[in-house]
Amino acid sequence: MIKPTQLTFWFEFASPYSYLSAMRIRDLADRAGVAVIWQPFLLGPIFAAQGWDDSPFRLYPRKGAYMLRDMVRTARDYGLPYAQPDIFPQNGLLGARVALALRGAGHDPAAFVCSVYARQFAQNADISDPATIAAALGDAALPEDSTAEAWIARAQSPQIKQALRDAGTTADRLGLFGAPSFSTGDEIFWGDDRLEQALRYAQA
Amino acid sequence: MIKPTQLTFWFEFASPYSYLSAMRIRDLADRAGVAVIWQPFLLGPIFAAQGWDDSPFRLYPRKGAYMLRDMVRTARDYGLPYAQPDIFPQNGLLGARVALALRGAGHDPAAFVCSVYARQFAQNADISDPATIAAALGDAALPEDSTAEAWIARAQSPQIKQALRDAGTTADRLGLFGAPSFSTGDEIFWGDDRLEQALRYAQA
C-alpha cells in the first residue's frame, strides 16, 4: 500500500514542464508535509503507444510554438530561469538511469535531478553528454568516496536498466501519457499545473 | 488597438474546459479590473488544420479518460457541478451564433453562455436542440419584447454566419489551436489553467 502522504513525481528529462515541477516540488511538498518519490521514466515508448512518434512540441508546430512561449512566461512567473536549449528535445536516458542508481543506493536524487534540469534548460548543456551528468553528480552532495564515473558505470548495470524498464511498465499500468505526472494511490495527475492539486490529494 | 485592460475569451461550447473558464471568468475579471470580450469560435476547422479529425478527448483514449477524471476533480475544486453529458462532444454551432447575435445587438452574452454551459455540463441537455438554446436565452435577462425565437432566427442570418467565420479567421491568425484560449494584444494563452495568468497580462 502506498502511504497517503506520499506523492510519486514522474519526470522525463527531455520535458520542459517536468523542469518546472522539479524546481518547485521540494518547497511545495515540504510545506504540505508530503514525501516525494522522484521517479524518472521515458516518454518515448509511452508516446509511441499513443501513436505519437515525436515530441508533442514538434508534432504540432502551432502547439509547439505556443508551448515555448508559455514556458518562457510561466518560468518567469515562478522566478525560474529558462532558455530553450539548442538541442531539443534531448535524450535523457543516461540521466534517468543515474537517478535510479542514486535512489537504488539510498541517496535522494533530487539535487542531481534539479542540476541536470538547470544545466539543460538554463545553461544550454547537452544532457546526453556524460560530462554534463558528471558535473550534475558533483552538485549532488554525494559521499566523497563515490566518483561520478562510478555512478555512471553503475547506471549502465543490468539491474538499473531493468529498473527503468519497470518504471515504464508501471507508468503504462497507471495510464500515464505525458510528463510531468504525479500519482498517489490510483489517482494520476498530468502537467505542472496540477502539482498543487496532486499534493492536496496526497495529503487527503 | 486593443486596450490593455481587455481580455478576449475564446470559447467553444463543446469544450468542457471552456465551461470551467466561463463559470470563473466574470468574478476573476471583475476583481482584476479587466473587461472580457466573450468570443465564441468553432474548434472543428482549427483541429482539422492541425491534422486532428475528432475531439482530443476521443482521438487519444488514454488522454481522454484522464481528462474526464481531471474535469470531475477540478470542477469539484472550483465548487462547480460537472456531469459528463450523454452526448459528447456536442455541436455548439447554434449557441455560438446566438452568442454573436446577442453581442452584435449590444447585449452582454455572458449570462446566456453560462446558461448553455450549465445546461450541457451539469444538466445533460443537448445544446444543438433549439429548445435548449431558447431556455438559455430565457435565463439571459433580455428585453421583454425580444423572444428566443427571434434571437434564434437572427442567429441564422448571413451577417451572423459570416461573423462566426470571421472569428475562425482571427483565431487562426492568432495561432489558436484549442479552447479555452485567451488573447490580449498579441499574447495568447491556452487552457483554463492559464486564465489567472492571462488576466495578469491583460492588466500589465
Q: Which residues from chain A sit within 8 angstroms of residue B190, using beta carbons?
A: 66, 70
Q: Which residues from chain B sit within 8 angstroms of residue A194, using beta carbons?
A: 70
Does residue B190 sit in helix, strand or coil? strand
Does residue B63 sit in helix, strand or coil? helix
Checking if the pLDDT of B57 tops 80, the result is no
pLDDT given for residue A141 in this prediction? 84
pLDDT given for residue A3 in this prediction? 54
Checking if the pLDDT of B102 tops 80, the result is yes
| pTM of this structure | 0.93
Does residue B176 sit in helix, strand or coil? coil
| Alpha carbons A180 and A18: distance in angstroms, whole number | 5
Compute the nearest-CA separation of B73 from chain A (Å): 9
Compute the nearest-CA separation of B152 from chain A (Å): 35
Q: Nearest 5°: phi and psi at B163?
A: -60, -35
ipTM given for this complex: 0.91
pLDDT digits (tens, 9 = 90+) for A38-52: 999 999 998 888 777
| Alpha carbons B173 and A146: distance in angstroms, whole number | 55
CB A40, CB A13: distance < 8 Å: yes
Does residue B178 sit in helix, strand or coil? coil
pLDDT given for residue B174 in this prediction? 96
pLDDT given for residue B26 in this prediction? 98
Checking if the pLDDT of B75 tops 80, the result is yes
Q: Is A189 on the interface with B (CB under 8 A)?
A: yes
Q: Which residues from chain B sit within 8 angstroms of residue A188, using beta carbons?
A: 66, 69
Checking if the pLDDT of B77 tops 90, the result is yes
Question: Under CATH, what is the fold of the domain A6-203?
Answer: Glutaredoxin (3.40.30)
Top residue of A193, A196, A199, A201 to mutate, by most chain B CBs within 10 Å, is A193
| Alpha carbons A12 and B138: distance in angstroms, whole number | 50
SS (H, E, C) A68-80: HHHHHHHHHHHCC
Do A175 and B51 count as a contact with CB atoms less than 8 A apart?
no
Query: What percent of chain A stands above pLDDT 90?
Result: 84
| Alpha carbons A177 and B59: distance in angstroms, whole number | 13
Average pLDDT over residues A2-8: 78
pLDDT digits (tens, 9 = 90+) for A91-116: 999 999 999 999 999 999 999 999 99
Where do we find the cell 555512471? A152
Greatest mean pLDDT range, B52-56, B59-63, B82-86:
B82-86
pLDDT given for residue A4 in this prediction? 59
CB B145, CB B160: distance < 8 Å: no
Q: Is A76 on the interface with B (CB under 8 A)?
A: no
pLDDT given for residue A73 in this prediction? 97
Do B73 and A177 count as a contact with CB atoms less than 8 A apart?
no
What average pLDDT does the structure give for chain A? 94
pLDDT given for residue B25 in this prediction? 98
Would you list the domain boundaries of chain B? 6-203
Confidence tier at A54 by pLDDT (50, 70, 90): confident
Q: Which residues from chain A sit within 8 angstroms of residue B74, using beta carbons?
A: 197
Q: What is the DSSP letter of B51?
A: T
Average pLDDT over residues B177-201: 97
β-strand partners of A35? A6
Compute the nearest-CA separation of B155 from chain A (Å): 31
Confidence tier at B4 by pLDDT (50, 70, 90): low
What is the b/e burial string over A133-147, where b = at least 16 CB atoms within 10 angstroms of the residue's CB?
A: bebbbeebebeeeee
Top residue of B20, B73, B187, B188 to mutate, by most chain A CBs within 10 Å, is B73
Confidence tier at B52 by pLDDT (50, 70, 90): confident
